[in-house]
Amino acid sequence: MATKASPQGRPRLDGVVLHIQQYNVNAETVDKKLNVLDVLEKTKDMRATILRFYPNISEKLRAATQANKGGHREIRDKGTATLLSNELENENVRFVNELRKGGVPVSTAMLTIQAKKVAAEAAVSPFSASRCWVNGFMARHRMSVRAPTREGQQSPADLDNIATGLAAHVEEFVRHLGINRIYNADQTGISSNGQRIV
């Protein structure tokens, strides 16, 4: 009996059947991992354990951080790929901190205007203080926008004062008009007990 032919599909345009792997995966064996853990448990010295099993690790790390530094975002120094120097960025940080110390909430628009002003004074020409720059600036200096996003954003103490003030106002309004029964929007009754309206 003849073997069944594979179904005819769309022909490949480039002629490549499988993806060619262009990198090497160097995985450690389980035995080596167990040996490392045993030595670490016996010696209680992480540095000696690393030097014993990985003697050339410092050269490899140094080479990885030196070449192609732009792609190593996690290990490069702060401000490596920024248009503004560290001094100019610190001036923007001082601006934000001074406003916050005075109780002024700083928005991204305020930060953008200040950054453009600082860049213009320092003659940094292709600087636009874009949204990406603002996000990077905030991440580099571990800041967040603390401007109120809506009017109702108030502290719990203020909310308690507002609630008691509203209860007193409604109670006075009910007494003034001589109202005996109040219905809620969903037609459930409301009774006032002391300071709170239930």
DSSP 86: H
What architecture is the 86-140 domain classified under in CATH?
Orthogonal Bundle (1.10)
Per-residue model confidence (pLDDT) at position 196: 61
The answer to whether the CB of 69 falls within 8 A of the CB of 80 is yes
Alpha-carbon distances of 100 from 30, 110, 115, 190, rounded to whole Å:
53, 12, 16, 43
The confidence band for 158, taking pLDDT boundaries of 50, 70 and 90, is confident
**Mean pLDDT over residues 152-159, rounded?**
72
The confidence band for 42, taking pLDDT boundaries of 50, 70 and 90, is very high
**Mean pLDDT over residues 21-48, rounded?**
87
Q: Which segment, 20-24, 101-105, 144-148, is predicted with the most confidence on average?
A: 101-105
* Structural domain spans, the chain: 30-65, 86-140, 156-197
| Closest to 145 measured CA to CA, from 121, 173, 110, 115 | 110
Per-residue model confidence (pLDDT) at position 15: 67
* pTM value surpassing 0.85: no
